Amino acid sequence: MNKPHFIFTKYKNSFSVHVQNLEKLSVEQIQSIESFVSQRKGVFNFDTYTFTITKRLEFGEFLSLLEHSSIVAVSQEKILKIQQKTKLEFGKYKGMFYSDIPDAYLLWLKSNYRGKDRAIVDAEINFRAL
Q: What is the pLDDT of residues 103-118, one digit of tens each?
A: 889 999 999 988 888 8
The three-point CA angle 61-100-72 to 5° equals 30
pLDDT at 21 over 90: yes
The three-point CA angle 98-104-106 to 5° equals 30
Quote the pLDDT of residue 78. 85
pTM: 0.64
Q: What is the pLDDT of residues 45-68, one digit of tens each?
A: 998 899 998 888 889 999 999 999
pLDDT at 29 over 60: yes
